[in-house]
Structure 1
Amino acid sequence: MRPRAPLEALIFDVDGTLAETEELHRRAFNAAFRAWGLPWSWSRERYRALLAVTGGKERLLHFLETDRPAAAERGRTLVAEIHAEKTARYHALLAAEGGALRPGVRRLLGEARAAGLRLAVATTTTPANVEALIRIAFGRPATALFEVVAAGDAVARKKPDPEVYRLALGRLGLPAGACLAFEDSANGLKAALGAGLATVVTPGLYTDGQDFVGASLVAPSLEAVGLGELEALVPAQAVVGLA
């Protein structure tokens, strides 16, 4: 029987995983559109479909090309500015409404730290968005809680590409077999699996019903998930015998 390697680190996605923030992002996009005088509005149904494209600027470009092709050429030149407006609106919404963590997240992070596990983030969002959420939810900088913050601006290819998870693993200096990933979406799951990570999925408001085949655990939330259960998810390691 192969022994299990000790669990050494937990790597978390942010939006939809640590906190149910996607609705705030949708509202922030719509507020930015209004601020720019653009006659666009993303319904919840449309935003659910748009979330198949990871990254805010990438999502906006995709929307222009598929929904507003006549405005796409001019729109491409404004994407960065519209997205900057959206980010400011998102931070304002976070500050006004708070960054409510999903059930079980705060407890699990506390238990993991107490047990000596290392914590990291692997996300397609920006470092500024990570910082805003963590400061509001925990009252301290992201780096005071997470040893590694690997964000979307540090990689060329976003999820479902595994690059951001490989970046996080590299910064941790750990093999994938010593870590667990936490995600809420099919794209995130594909990214984590592509990096060789066993993955826990807690579907969110916009990702319920997606295909999570390959996940080590799918749960409504982390509320009833403990460290003992997580340690059992770490893949068994081959034993190298002595000649």
Structure 2
Amino acid sequence: MNRLAAVVFDVDGTLVDSERDGHRVAFNAAFEEAGLPDRWDIPTYGRLLRITGGARRLASWFGSVGRSPDEAERLAKRLHGRKTAIMRELIEAGKIEARPGVHRLLDQLDAGGVPMHVATTGTRAWVEPLLDRVFGPRFQVVVTGTDVPDLKPSPAAYLEVLRRTGCPADRSVAVEDSQNGVRAAVAAGLRVVAVHNDYTHDDDLSGAELIAAGFEDPPLSAWFQQRV
């Protein structure tokens, strides 16, 4: 139970409930603006979350519904840019909020002098505005899917955080919500605390040292209290 050298947070589904009522809404708005018939309901989007990265998710979807590979890639590139802009509008309108209990944990880590960082597959164009609006200057290093060539479950984002900060992996912990995220953090040598959300309650999070249903779970609070 060594004192933590750093805590590295995922964003989507972890710090914020942004998938169902954020990204999904933005994707559907982009489809509608483009005059496309595609729409992602809540269960469909949950299945698509197995594919990390919005552009990759779009390309996979377009291919699955019969578009050619070239058309799928072209549409994905065009739609993803507009979707990101719509996501920023949702953020600016205050539609994306921290999950219950997150601010209390961040306060606890702040009080203990534990550095906090971010490793996400999201693009910097919306990640930075969201972090600034919802959390302020909490995080020292933020690595996004814009900064690394490979997305989770690749460990690239976590390895880049470790490289930039010099934090020892064995004294750092990642906070994740999904199987892909847990796999990425474990592959980078970090311990993991996993926090389920509505979309990931059936994910295999067995690589995590602790699995909680939410940030207000007493075992999660106790785990961090012992290490701060």
- Letter aligned with residue 204 of structure 1: N
- Letter aligned with residue 81 of structure 1: R
State the partner residue of 2:71: 74
Quick one: distance in 2 between partners of 1:59 and 1:163?
A: 19
Q: Does 1:25 align with 2:23?
A: yes
Deviation at 1:159, TM superposition (A): 0.4
Q: Does 1:179 align with 2:192?
A: no
State the partner residue of 2:80: 83
Which stretch of structure 1 is more off in the superposition, 71-80 or 35-44?
A: 71-80
Quick one: distance in 1 between partners of 2:44 and 2:227?
A: 35
State the partner residue of 2:184: 191
Deviation at 1:126, TM superposition (A): 1.1
State the partner residue of 2:207: 214
Matches within 5 A, 1:68-217: 69-138=66-135, 140=136, 144-217=137-210
TM-score normalised by length of structure 2: 0.92
RMSD, aligned α-carbons: 1.8
- Letter aligned with residue 230 of structure 1: F
- Which of the two has higher C-alpha Rg? 1
Higher relative contact order (CA 8 A, sep 6+): 1
2:118–2:141: 8 Å Cα contact kept in structure 1? Answer: yes
Consecutive unaligned residues in structure 2, runs of 5 or more: none
Q: Give 3-state SS (helix, strand or coil) of 1:121's partner.
A: strand
Q: Give 3-state SS (helix, strand or coil) of 1:11's partner.
A: strand
Q: Give 3-state SS (helix, strand or coil) of 1:145's partner.
A: coil
State the partner residue of 2:43: 45
Deviations 1:122-177 (A, max 9, x none): 00001122212122213x3xxx2111101111111110111111111111101111
Quick one: distance in 1 between partners of 2:169 and 2:75?
A: 39
Deviation at 1:231, TM superposition (A): 6.2
Deviation at 1:224, TM superposition (A): 3.5
2:5–2:115: 8 Å Cα contact kept in structure 1? Answer: yes
State the partner residue of 1:240: none
Consecutive unaligned residues in structure 1, runs of 5 or more: 235-243
State the partner residue of 1:238: none
2:100–2:216: 8 Å Cα contact kept in structure 1? Answer: yes
Percent same amino acid at aligned positions?
40
Deviation at 1:96, TM superposition (A): 2.6
Deviation at 1:77, TM superposition (A): 1.8
Structure 1 residues 75 and 65: CA distance shift in structure 2, 3 A: closer
TM-score normalised by length of structure 1: 0.87
State the partner residue of 2:12: 15
Deviation at 1:22, TM superposition (A): 0.1
